[in-house]
Amino acid sequence: MITFERMNNKQFKEYLEFMMPDYIQDTSTHYMMTKKQATEKAEKQMESLLPDQEKTEGQHFFHIKSGEQIAGYLWFHVSKEEKTAFLYHIYILENFRKQGIAKTSLRFFENESKDEGAEYCGLHVFGTNENAIELYRKLGYKQASISMNKVL
């Protein structure tokens, strides 16, 4: 059984410690930045997005649980004023992949967002994340834009 448990402050801080290194690496790779530049960018983004940490209005942080075990993490934002939701991060731990947990988690995100008044939801996925892109398409997500770059 898949359940969703809100993170407390300690869990939120542990989650950021887990998430940030991968995010920094992806930012560095995909936006052709040095590790230092990517770290500075990521830290500024987190400060801007999360001034009150996990209690920032509209931000939602969940442990995805399979039984009693943490199977992954889910972070999204709902703007009641704009009636939109944005999925910032979904991560399923290796041992729990290919079990339908990501699909269940995305449906949870959509339902929670709709319950809070969102009429539209979006997300960002790096172009190299083919498994995620395939899942999103299967669930009805459409490509909204394409960002491209080239090393000179």
Residue of 57, 59, 114 whose CA lies nearest to 84 = 114
Give residue for tokens 């997005």. Answer: 49
Tokens of 34: 């040095």
Domains along the chain with CATH numbers:
2-138 (3.40.630.30)
Residue of 81, 92, 89, 93 whose CA lies nearest to 119 = 81
pLDDT of 147: 80
Q: Where are the alpha helices (DSSP H) in the chain?
A: 9-30, 35-49, 101-115, 130-138
pLDDT tens, 55-83? 999 999 999 999 999 999 999 999 999 99
pLDDT of 40: 97
How far is Cα 60 from Cα 80, in angstroms, rounded to an integer? 13
pLDDT of 30: 86
Query: Model's pTM, two decimal places?
Result: 0.91
